[in-house]
Amino acid sequence: MNDMKVGIVGGGPGGLGCAMSLAHNGFDVTVFEQASDVGGRNASIRLGDFAFDTGPTFLNMKFVLDELFQLCGRDSSDYLKFKLLDPMYQLSFVDREILMSSNKESMNKELERVFPGNIHGLEKFYVKEKARFEKILPNLRRDFSRLTSFISPKVIRAIPYIFAGGSIYDNLGKYFKEEKLRVCFTFQSKYLGMSPWECPAAFTMISFVEHEFGVYHVMGGLSQLSKAMAKVVIEEGGNLETGARVEELVTSGRKVTGLRLQSGEAYSFDYIVVNADFGYAFTKLVEPDKLRKYSQQNISKKRYSCSTFMLYLGVKKQYSAPHHNIVFSHDYRSNINDIVQGRLSDDFSFYVQNACVTDKTLAPRGKSTVYVLVPVPNNFSEIDWGEEKPGFRGKVLDAIEARTSMKDISDKIEVERIITPEDWENEYNVYKGATFNLAHNIRQMLYFRPHNRFEELQNCYLVGGGTHPGSGLPTIYLSSIISAGLISRHAKIGR
Ligand SMILES: Cc1cc2nc3c(=O)[nH]c(=O)nc-3n(C[C@H](O)[C@H](O)[C@H](O)COP(=O)(O)OP(=O)(O)OC[C@H]3O[C@@H](n4cnc5c(N)ncnc54)[C@H](O)[C@@H]3O)c2cc1C
């Protein structure tokens, strides 16, 4: 162990990834997590004998997780059991359903069945988007803490692929004419909480990576990822303090020197890593006049993702619906516009996970877990969720019964939990309940996103969805690799 001490605020995927790497590199690491267990938005929710994932249910780009474990001298498969999902998911429009597959032969057949005459466009998509992905990926692995980061052949080569092409919806027009087919390859912008009509074309890489590398489930739920990472932290000699809410980052001038917990205890550290949600952390954990670029007022002017209304249902029945189901509203575009403009739609799109078709460990025999996610406006909308919650719950159950094969779900509920955008903000410390963090528009990407080496405070580093390269498990794991690398370098050579 070296004599450098690192304190990490938050034990979500970003904080745990960074803790694993730093502890493996010999740092004396302590993770402070406010909740009673690690994982954050990737933690497990238990309702009686039913187990749910709080947030992430799709593991994409599994090779990034594998890399993180390899950097710590480990094999992820020694800790976790993965299941490649084929089909990846079912997409339901009012007039048709399609099963999307990462198996190219099955995908071609299904496309021909549901959207005949489009195989040529699909082949073009694979080739062109592979080229884009190969140019962009090295830049997701780089630190963009300095403007000079742009002066590199890899970045220069990627610029046309990152900054040109309009929105992902425009980009898909190169491959497919039909609106619904374009939606099949662009709805993934919702993983970033953005509209396909606004999300930059660069993010077509999300649907590309699904088709190229597949979508995985983790047996026991994706929360097992955080549990496995926490295990590695402990094996490497790191400390995990749960039920430890950080109240303040302690500073001396512009340098962070430690942190203070809600309980009053204070600790000194050589480095602080902030994994807590960016907007929350820098409006709540530092004195209001400490920051300039990210003053409270400037943070409030940034653009943010949408939020989500969540229903976790433990039901007395097993359904045959696929593992992942995305149901589009009658008018998808107008639903997206409502979300962007801060209105609740009556006709909304939603996602239903029926994980027990793959994983029987999540519920008692003969029963199952049903996870429902409805994209809704974030809390800039000022929707009063105290008032809306019961009515909206009813509308969501009606929509599931009308649009999926779960026709009797209301009668089968044994236990349930709801998380509203207000709960995300108040219980999970997510700024404005924007569950997918700062938006990923061009002006908030790469160098223009809060830097991994936080630009306003010395010895302070960021990990998680609010820094580069962005929200989503694989990119969050990359943020932890980048930030751990920066800290290791700083400890060694002082910059
Ligand atoms: C509903 C939903 C679905 C998602 N689905 C997917 C998906 O399918 N696939 C995917 O790749 N990504 C998905 N994401 C996006 C993203 O991968 C996850 O949100 C991810 O868990 C975010 O990780 P993080 O480390 O940035 O933050 P978090 O998981 O929020 O971790 C931050 C941690 O900091 C802690 N904390 C906050 N304040 C304090 C404090 N004051 N003191 C101490 N600790 C504190 C929190 O409790 C939390 O544990 C989803 C997100 C949501 C919300």
- Residue 36 CA to ligand 1 center (angstroms) comes to 15
- Residue 299 CA to ligand 1 center (angstroms) comes to 19
Which atom from ligand 1 is nearest to the alpha carbon of 60? 11
CB 355 within 8 A of CB 118: no
* Parallel, antiparallel or unpaired: strands 266-268 and 28-33: unpaired
Show the tokens assigned to 283: 């409006």
User: Is the confidence at residue 426, as pLDDT, over 80?
Assistant: yes
Tell me how far apart the alpha carbons of residues 74 and 77 are, in angstroms, rounded to a whole number: 9
Show the tokens assigned to 183: 């939606």
pLDDT tens string 238-264: 999 999 999 999 999 999 999 999 999
Protein residue with its CA nearest to atom 27 in ligand 1:
12
Q: What share of the chain is helix, strand, coil (3-state, %, to 5)?
A: 45, 20, 35
Beta-carbon count within 10 A of 476 CB? 29
How many residues would you count in the chain? Answer: 495
pLDDT tens string 287-330: 988 999 999 999 999 999 999 999 999 999 999 999 999 999 99
C-alpha dihedral (149, 154, 160, 163), degrees to nearest 10: -30
Residues of the chain with pLDDT > 70, as a percent, come to 100
Predicted confidence at residue 154, as pLDDT, reads: 84
Ligand 1 neighbourhood includes 470 CB (under 6 angstroms): no
Protein residue with its CA nearest to atom 13 in ligand 1:
56
The answer for 366, left when phi > 0, alpha when psi is -120 to 50, beta otherwise, is left
pLDDT tens string 138-176: 999 999 988 888 888 888 888 888 877 789 999 999 999
Lowest mean pLDDT among 194-203, 315-324, 459-468: 194-203
Ligand 1 neighbourhood includes 41 CB (under 6 angstroms): yes
Predicted confidence at residue 2, as pLDDT, reads: 76
Predicted confidence at residue 150, as pLDDT, reads: 83
